[in-house]
Structures are given as C-alpha cells and as structure tokens.
A and B are shown apart, each in its own frame.
Chain A
Amino acid sequence: MKSRKIRISVLLAVLFLPLSGCKETFDFLPYAREIEDMALVRTLGVDMAEEGIRVTASTGVQDQGAKAPTVLEQKGEAISAACLTMQAQGAAYVFYGHVGQLILGEDLAGQGIQSVLDYVLCDIEMRLETNLYVFQGQAGPAIWAAAEQSSATEQLEALEADEGLLSDFTHRTVEDVMEDLEENGDSFVPALTLNEEQKRLEPAGYALLKEGALAGWAQGEDAKGVNLLIGRVEADVLEAIFPDGSRAALRIVDAETQVKPVFQGNMLIGLTLRCQVDANLAESANATGSADLYAAEQALEEACQARLERAADLCRELGGDFFQLKARAGRNAPWYWRAIQDQWSLKDLEVDVEVEAHIQRSYNMRDT
C-alpha cells in the first residue's frame, strides 16, 4: 500500500512538473516549431564577398498563385554565420531542411568548394541530396534576378525535370560531387548562366573541378561529349548528310560508354572509350534503303566520336580526371586495378574512341 502511494505521488509530481513554470526542466526535449511559422529555403546561393562569404537564400514561390518568392541575403565570415544572421531578418524561422539547389558563384568555385561541401555535410538541416550548380559569375544577383520573373527554385526544378531533353546538361548532387572528390579530387558540376533579358537561369554546360576548385568549363559540343561519356543522353537531335546531299534528322535516344584500359604486357599504354549509341531516324524524306541507313549510322558515329574525343581532350588539357575515367577503367578490368593505380597518367595515355551506332527505327513502314 505504501509503495502504491509513493508511485502515485511520483506520477502526480511528474504530471504537475509543467505547472512549475520552469522551462529549463524540459530542456532535454527537442524544441518544437510550427511549420507555418517557417520560411522554407529552397535555393541557396553562395558567393565570395569582400570580407568573407555572401549567402543568398530564396524560398521559391511558396503557394500557388501566391506572391513572389522571399529572397534573403547576408554576409558572414562563414556560410553558417551568414545563415544565422539571416534568422534575424524576419519573424519566420528560416529553415534549410528543404534546400534543393545550391548555387556556387564562379569566384568561390575558383577558390575551392570544399568548405561549402563541409557545411552541407555538417549542418543538421542541409541534405546531401541537394543539387549543386556553379554559376558563371555571381550567384546572388542571379537569384535576385530570377525572383523578378518567377524564382530560381522553379526555374531550376523545371531544368531538372526537362534535363532528359537536354544533351549537354544533367544534375549532380552534393553527394555525387563529394564522392568524386573523395575518389580523386576532381569532379564536374552543371554550370548555369543568366539570360539577362528573360531573367532566366539557363544551362551552360559543366564546370570542371580540379582538386576541388574550378579549373575550366565544358560547353557546347564538349558538354555533349561529357553526356555521352557518362551515358546521360535521352534525346538529342543530330543532322546527317547523305552521299547524295540529302539530309536526315537523327534522334539519339540512348548511349552507353565503357572505359577500357589498354595494356602492353604489364604496361598501361592507353584507354579505349567504347560507346554504343542508339538513335531513331526522326526526319528523312528520301532515306529508305539500307545504304542510307548505313550512311546515317556512319554520320552518327563520326559526330559522337568527335564529341567524346573533345571531352577526353579536356581532361588531358586541364590535367584532371573529371569524369572518373581511372575508376571506371579499374571497374572494367579489376584484375589490373593495382597497375592502373600505379601507372595512371592521363596526359601520357593514348585515348582511342570507338563508337558503334544503331538506327533502331527508320519509320519505313514498307520494310516492316
């Protein structure tokens, strides 16, 4: 009976503890924040400032038919300091748990992105799945400019949704880039530019990172070569000219590239980039025979070979293994992994590009 009374007393004491008014009593509990009192930051831009770092945060359009996005900007010695200062800018709690796009300015990328990646890794709210971009110029002003049209968030989400239709652009997450940098210190990140007239963020190929810092750009045909190399081509239209002078449009629908090491004895002497490309004959007035298809395939192989060679040349010129060719060669011939590691020197290797193209559909109903 006595122990029962003690138990009831303890229970009542615990139940009445909240009435004591001692907030510190419950400090061990997590802190509650109502979601409607939050501003969900969805795009974050980071630039170099005169003294430290400038962070620009955009919430995106929060509600259908709602007002323009909220854009906040603060400077600080570090990203976390700037983000903390941003909390004081309004009544709402600025929440970084839904940042989907992280845009780095060109200056900052030139000095190295490791500090930014460390921030994403260590911050409890940021996610490794955040898409990473490098902007050609200052990221902050671009986010402000995009907010005049719609918002950087919506524009980049549209780009990501439609990237299958672009043959020179693909998204990369912070996690992808960190893995690359951990592997060999080099990586590549999609690049952005601003269409000043339309206030729109547009793709601009890729930023190439060497030892974690911006080393150069892959744009135009180079960027298309990158997409072929990493096998991210879902739709690209290429024009082929037949021997009789007529033209046809080829739509590339798939590409897969294997990186094979070439050995002479135990000596690594080169790399073979073997690419298999599938395409459809999209438009052609006269191409109906097998000779025409063969010619189309030839034209496709030549174009893809040129693109791949340009991507490989970029690596040799800038001296970086941006596309993880070494690791891919090792995975292709794991029994040579030790030799590949010891002898790897991309600029000294002969890179041979082989492309095999297939026209899968010709729309020639008479042959079917």
Chain B
Amino acid sequence: MGKSSQKEPVPPHPRREPRFSGALTLGRMEEIFRDCADFATRTVEIGGQGTPVTLCFLTGMVKIERVSEYLLRPIAQDEALEEPDRRAVYRRMAEGALYNLIAEERTNLDTAVNDLVAGWCLLFFPGEPGCLSFFAATEDKRSIGPPESETVLKGARDGFVESLRTNTSLVRRHLKAPELKIKEQIVGRQSLTMVDVLYLDGIANPDTVREVEERLASIDIDAALASGNLEEYLVDRTLTPFPLVLYTERPDRFCGGLAEGRVGLLADGLPLGYLMPGTVGSFLRAGQDKSNNWVLATMLTFLRFLCVMGSLLLPALYIAMVTFHQEMLPTRLALSIIAAKRDVPFQTVIEVLILLVAFEILQEAGLRLPQSIGQTVSIIGGLVVGQAAVEAKIVSPAVLIAVAVAGIAGYTMPSQEMAAALRLWRFLLALLASAAGLFGVAGGLAALVYHLAGIESYGVPYLAPFAGGLGLARAGRAVVRLPLSWVKLRDRFLKTPNRRKQR
C-alpha cells in the first residue's frame, strides 16, 4: 500500500475563546478593524471644549441621522455634561443623557466587537476601562411585500423579508400571545448569523424545542448564509432528496404552523421561516387551503395527491405499457402510438429520458435567467423545440405529452422541494420500468415507500399521518379538509402538551 492510499488527516478546527484578546481600548479596536474601509471614528469634545470622547462605528451598518442627532449633538451641546468629573459624565451618559433607546456598558472586547458589527456605536472615554455601546443600526431593508413563490388569492399579503427583527415582528403581529417565545442563537463563526427559535409555550412539544435548540447550538460552520446551510444541520437524515423541514415565506402560514404545535425557526438574512417537524401531509397542503371552502380544498388536495402519482408514475407507466404490457392499452390508443412512433429511431426509454432531461434543462435555464427571458426560453424550449423534435421524428408526440403532463403535474406541489424529489424518483422509476415493466415500477414504488417509512423528522414518522398507527380516519383527514369547526384537536403525532384547540 502506498502513501496515496493513506487517509489525509483532518486538520483541527479549534474555536478560539475569546476571539480577541486584550483590553477593550480604542487602540485595540482600531487594530482589530485595521484595513476595514467602513470602520470610522469621530472624536468630539464634551460640550465643545471639555474632555474628548471617541465614537466608533461601521458606516453602512448604522443610521447616520440617528448617530448625529441622538449621540453627537448631546455630547457636543448638552451643558449638563460639562462637568469636570469624568466619571460622573460617563455615568450620566450611560444612564440616559444620550437619548438612545438601548445603551449598554461594555467591558469585554469580544462583546464590543460583536456590537460594532451588529450596527452599534461604541463611545470611548479616555481613562475608562470599557466603553458605552449604543444601538444605532440602520433599518434599511427590503420593504414587506407579497411572497413571490407562494401566491395568495384570499389571505394576508405580507411576506418575510431578510431582516430577522422585521420577521419576528411580523410573527408577533399575527400571534399576539405572550406565550410566543423567541430564543436567539448565533450561528456561523464568520457570518455570526442570528437565528431565532420560535414556539408557543404550552402548545409546542418541549422535546422538539429542546432538540431544535441543541442542533442549532451544535452547528459549527463558518457561515450560515444560504438556507441549505441551516436545513441540512437541522434534519435527522441527509441521504434523502425529500424535504424534512417545511418552509414558508408567509407569516400567516408560519404562525398557523406554530399554533398547530410545530416549532419555527427564523434566520437573519433569509426571507423565509422553517417549521418542524415536516411530514408528507404537510408538504401537500397549500397555505390557501384553509381559506378555501372545505369541499373545494378537499377536491384540490385530492387533485394534488393525484398529481403526485401522475408526476411520479406517468413516464414509467408509459414505458412499461408501450414496451412490456401493450395489452393494457386501449386498442385505438395503441394504434395511435404505433402511428406516432413510426420512423422514430430511438427506443421508448431513450425517448422518455431525452425528454425528461430536456425538461430539467429547460427548467434550470428558466430559473437562472431573469423572469422575462426565462419565459421566452420556456416558450422556445417547450413549444418550438418540442414541436420541432416531434416533426423531426426524434421523439413521438405521445412521449412528449406523457412527459409534459408529468412535468406540469409536478408543479401543483405546494412545496417545490417535494416536487424536485419526486422528479428524481421519476427518473429512477422510468429506468426500472424500462428494465422490468410494471414489475420494475412496483418494485421501485415499494423501495420508495420503504425509503420514506424509514425517515423521521424530530421523532415524527415522515409518512404520518399515513403511517405511525394513527388510524384510517386521521390518514383520511390528510386528504379531506374537514370544516374547521369539526377539528377540535391538534395532530396527535406532533405530541403537543395541549391537544384541544377549540371549544
């Protein structure tokens, strides 16, 4: 065995505590933020002629008007601060002489540095061992607008934005219960992302809350910038394409999940909220369902389940029936397919795979381009190339229809992550169908059920309420949306301490 076969040792990844050593002084602060163009200081004499004090801040992170009006002006002009006793002036400033809502006294260098990057201003007094920290963060952010990926006809139009505090305020406005708890943790060594765990005390399962907090605390990564950075650390199992935590851009849906007994999670910089645990049934429920008439909502849910089956099975069934089980086709349909496939040089499975791959490419291209160009690509790809491929006898019209219907059926999923997972399995089932016809499809479906049955999300079976011994009635309610007044209890599988939700 040579050296190359030996495993390269993983270098240590120690967390330095404290992050910055030394005393909390202006000089140390300037040293830490050396080569930082946005680091700024401003020295002002108290009362215009007294003791010089220095204000540090990061431009762009603070609201300049607030700093000027509520910090610099009083320091420069307030006669009450013109005292010879520096210590007394320091105390007066800390206790309200400066009109800032939040003022803290800092003696720890790490805390002060974190404050600075979070948009606070640090005021250094000559001779004082610490500094005063004032909250002056800018509130520049995207304004609250309707969520783009979860359109709503009847319901609230507000959507989460990238600011964590704005998002928590949106949740507070929907759920005014004092029992709404918001616990915060910092995730990411470099990003220092604020992540909040939200839940309704007395309704959410305390075990789930604790587990979410523990998993968050155990995350030791450089940066939590993308949604995947958090998701993959929050789920039990990563070797599955299926989503295990539900996400939504809509505060009303998020709050609905909290009221059901789920645990929510909001992260700074992400315009969406996560709900845990996630189960198959929850991914097939649209936020609109509770706003619709229950009969209509039931029909639409049933349609969605039908579309899941169609999206998953249609290409595979087409291959199986055209290649192995021709007797299953109605005679006239069989004759139409024969006529359509005449002169097409490829085997059925190759035709289907070509179109499935083309469908994925079109979708990816449409997503990466601006919306207007994306639509053009879709039209050119879907209609022009599709039509040309049929006329050139590269694929048959029947395959085009089967793959297109399967693709469109996939778009009915409220969760596009679930739709993407189904698309992966669609490929697998198509390959199995080409190998063994309906036997292959049945085997593939059995493998899918086996895979799903082995997944848990925070101790809840992923297939709940269809699995987990919840009974046929509860399983039926995943499809049938009963009138809301009939549903008195919260889902048992969420293990909520208080199951009753209405009189």
Residues of A within 8 A of B322 (CB): 34-35
State whether the Cβ of B31 lies closer than 8 Å to any Cβ in chain A: no
Cα separation A62 to B338 with both chains bound (whole Å): 8
In contact, B327 and A98 (Cβ under 8 angstroms): yes
Nearest opposing residue in chain B for A93, CB measure: B326
Residues of B within 8 A of A98 (CB): 326-327, 331, 334
In contact, A34 and B347 (Cβ under 8 angstroms): yes
Kindly provide the distance from the CB of A214 to the nearest chain B CB, expressed in whole angstroms.
29
In contact, B437 and A30 (Cβ under 8 angstroms): yes
In contact, B335 and A127 (Cβ under 8 angstroms): no
State whether the Cβ of A29 lies closer than 8 Å to any Cβ in chain B: yes
In contact, B334 and A40 (Cβ under 8 angstroms): yes
In contact, B439 and A30 (Cβ under 8 angstroms): yes
Kindly provide the distance from the CB of A243 to the nearest chain B CB, expressed in whole angstroms.
53
Which residues between 22 and 49 of chain A lie within 8 Å of chain B, taking CB atoms? 26, 29-30, 32-36, 38, 40, 42
Nearest opposing residue in chain A for B346, CB measure: A34
In contact, B326 and A97 (Cβ under 8 angstroms): yes
In contact, B338 and A36 (Cβ under 8 angstroms): yes
Nearest opposing residue in chain B for A124, CB measure: B327
State whether the Cβ of A348 lies closer than 8 Å to any Cβ in chain B: no
In contact, B331 and A32 (Cβ under 8 angstroms): no
Supposing A29-B436, A30-B436 touch, asked if A35 and B327 sit within 8 A by C-beta, the answer is no
In contact, B348 and A34 (Cβ under 8 angstroms): yes
Residues of A within 8 A of B331 (CB): 40, 42, 98, 100
Supposing A34-B322, A36-B344 touch, asked if A62 and B327 sit within 8 A by C-beta, the answer is no
Cα separation A358 to B434 with both chains bound (whole Å): 60
In contact, A35 and B437 (Cβ under 8 angstroms): no
Interface size range on A against B: 20 to 34
Which residues between 363 and 407 of chain B lie within 8 Å of chain A, taking CB atoms? none
* Proximity bits, B54-72, A CB within 8 Å = 1, else 0: 0000000000000000000
Residues of A within 8 A of B337 (CB): 35-36
Residues of B within 8 A of A26 (CB): 435
Nearest opposing residue in chain A for B437, CB measure: A30
State whether the Cβ of B253 lies closer than 8 Å to any Cβ in chain A: no
* Proximity bits, B309-330, A CB within 8 Å = 1, else 0: 0000000000000111011010
In contact, B335 and A63 (Cβ under 8 angstroms): yes
State whether the Cβ of A125 lies closer than 8 Å to any Cβ in chain B: yes
Cα separation A35 to B337 with both chains bound (whole Å): 8
Residues of A within 8 A of B347 (CB): 34
Nearest opposing residue in chain B for A66, CB measure: B339
Cα separation A30 to B347 with both chains bound (whole Å): 16
* Proximity bits, A92-128, B CB within 8 Å = 1, else 0: 0001011010000000000000000000000001010
Cα separation A265 to B316 with both chains bound (whole Å): 66
Kindly provide the distance from the CB of B245 to the nearest chain A CB, expressed in whole angstroms.
27
Cα separation A142 to B474 with both chains bound (whole Å): 62
Supposing A62-B335, A97-B327 touch, asked if A36 and B435 sit within 8 A by C-beta, the answer is no
Nearest opposing residue in chain B for A28, CB measure: B436
Kindly provide the distance from the CB of B377 to the nearest chain A CB, expressed in whole angstroms.
32
Cα separation A25 to B206 with both chains bound (whole Å): 55
Inter-chain pairs besides A26-B435, A34-B322, A35-B338, 17 sampled, C-beta below 8 Å: A30-B324, A30-B439, A32-B324, A32-B437, A35-B323, A35-B326, A35-B329, A35-B337, A38-B338, A40-B326, A40-B331, A40-B338, A42-B331, A62-B338, A97-B326, A98-B334, A125-B327
Interchain Cβ contacts under 8 Å between A and B, 22 examples: A26-B435, A29-B436, A29-B439, A30-B436, A33-B326, A34-B323, A34-B341, A34-B347, A35-B323, A35-B326, A35-B329, A35-B334, A35-B338, A35-B348, A36-B344, A38-B338, A62-B338, A62-B339, A66-B339, A95-B327, A98-B326, A98-B334
